[in-house]
Amino acid sequence: MALHRNVRVRIGLAFVHKLIDAMILTFIAIYLASRVGIATTGALILLFAVFAVFGMLLGGHLSEKWGRRPVLIVGDLIGTVFLVLMTMAYFADWGPLAVYFSYAIVKFGTNLALPANDSTIIDVTPVEDRKYVYTVNYWVINLALGGGALIGGFLYGTHFGAVILGGAIGMGFALIGTVLLVAETKPESTAAAAVPGKLQGWAQFVEGYRVVLVDSTFRRLIIVATLVLTLEGQLSTSIGIRLSHDFPVQYVFPFGDVDGVQMLGVLKAVNTVLVVLLALYINALLRRLPDRVRLYAGITLYAGGFAVLAVSSTAWVLLTAALVLTIGELMNTPVQQTLLAELAPEQGRPRYMAAYYLHIRFGQVVNSLLISLTAVLSTQGMAGIYLLFGVVIIMQYRVILARRTARAGAEAPVSV
């Protein structure tokens, strides 16, 4: 409660947004596949990425021009209007494509607001509080994702329309909360630095992102985020496929006898529950640990845990690996987010946030390539790739932390 009101409100609204996303997005593919076929569904889901990328880049640009609050309001307004339209399309039976395109615009709106949301949190959070804030935010998001998946899973078969309607109501409350409770946080220096008349329109848009992408330190952080997310995605892709084929039915307390697909669900549930239970405790326990040690150890545990998941078919070994990688995840994530806040300068911060979130799409591409590699590589080969990812991440962190130390030394006052 000692945190800035904007931070408390945005974390609370992040719960609402992620809950809605998990309730609907997780099951929209199933809905489409049953109505338009698997091949068409794959193409439509890919279009979500196009809407998301364009929304994020435009949102970063507009947040720098207009300020954070207007973009947050526009994003929530688009989400509310098109979730209402999606509800009408579903109940009025306008067809699956009407339902799909309504939700595609919702995703555009939520991604439009994403850079402004993160910038709002960073703008008002002191450096010493950032690890704590990101830990709480991470905890809240995981709680929402787990809860949303459960709600959607139980209601999809008989009440999917009610799920969409609930999402529309929740987004409406988020819009009201943003309008009434969120203040503008765009620093005055940013406004002063934006010199009008030099570049306008698309030229200004392109130049803004060119400045971001020539920042080599920030590019290294995007590489880190891409590889971390790629490892996370392996549980749903390559590792999940292997478990569905190779995992023999085994007894897993308290779930009873489980097959490979069920074991995948158990591992995901264990990861989510451990994040919810341990996130705040681990952050408090490790708050005095240097970032370098925390990052190197965390990535070692994270990549090592996925390497074990790639080769083992023994339930208790898989569960232990899930525990190990979750601890590594909790050691790494708050520091990674803190580095993001440090490397995104006050001037142009929303654009940096938008460029950073491209790692989600990069991760999806790498994930698809790794799925293809499973056809020619052994499980040990896949485990080797995961460990190699861990090495590359640590090497990127090594450079980032060295430059951070050098920059801190250059900015330190010199005593005479």
Amino acid at site 240: G
First and final C-alpha spacing in the chain: 42
* Alpha-carbon dihedral 378, 379, 384, 389, rounded to 10 degrees: 120
Token pair in block for residue 153: 């899973």
Largest CA distance in the chain: 77
Cis, peptide link before residue 254, omega less than 30° from 0? yes
Q: In Å, how far from its chain's centre is CA 61?
A: 20
Single-letter amino acid code for the residue at 377: L
Residue 119 CB-density burial (10 A; 0-12 exposed, 13-18 middle, 19+ buried): buried
Smallest CA-to-CA distance from 234 within 377, 410, 129 is with 377
Per residue in 379-402, pLDDT (tens digit) is: 999 999 999 999 999 999 999 999
Q: 355 vs 76, 111, 164, 360, CA distance in Å?
A: 21, 12, 30, 10
Q: Which domains does the chain have, with CATH numbers?
A: 5-181 (1.20.1250.20), 212-406 (1.20.1250.20)
CA dihedral 276→28→77→137, nearest 10 degrees, is 10
Q: What's the confidence (pLDDT) of residue 415?
A: 46
How many residues are there in the chain? Answer: 416
Assess contact for 221 and 356: CB atoms under 8 A: yes
CA distance linking residue 251 with residue 257, whole number of Å: 4
**Is residue 32 a contact partner of residue 44, using CB atoms and an 8 Å limit?**
yes
Say what the pLDDT of residue 193 is.
45
The pLDDT of residue 411: 59
- Residues 22, 147 contacting (CB under 8 angstroms): yes
Q: Can you give the three-state secondary structure of the chain, one letter per residue?
A: CCCCHHHHHHHHHHHHHHHHHHHHHHHHHHHHHHHHCHHHHHHHHHHHHHHHHHHHHHHHHHHHHHCHHHHHHHHHHHHHHHHHHHHHHHHCCCCHHHHHHHHHHHHHHHHHHHHHHHHHHHHHCCHHHHHHHHHHHHHHHHHHHHHHHHHHHHHHHHHHHHHHHHHHHHHHHHHHHHHHHCCCCCCHHHHHHCCCCCCCHHHHHHHHHHHHHCCHHHHHHHHHHHHHHHHHHHCCCHHHHHHHHHCCCEEECCCEEECHHHHHHHHHHHHHHHHHHHHHHHHHHCCCCCHHHHHHHHHHHHHHHHHHHHHCCCHHHHHHHHHHHHHHHHHHHHHHHHHHHHHCCCCCHHHHHHHHCCHHHHHHHHHHHHHHHCCCCCHHHHHHHHHHHHHHHHHHHHHHHHHHHHHHHHHCCCCC
Q: Which residues face 257 on adjacent strands?
A: 251
Give the model's pLDDT for residue 92: 94
Tokens of 126: 């002191």
Question: For residue 366, what are the contacts with CB-CB under 8 A and spacing of at least 6?
Answer: 226, 227, 230
pLDDT score recorded for residue 176: 95
What's at 334, amino acid-wise?
Answer: P
* Residue that is written with structure tokens 């070994």 in the block: 317
For the chain, which ranges sit under pLDDT 50?
Answer: 190-197, 199, 414-416
Contact 173, 16 (CB under 8 A): yes
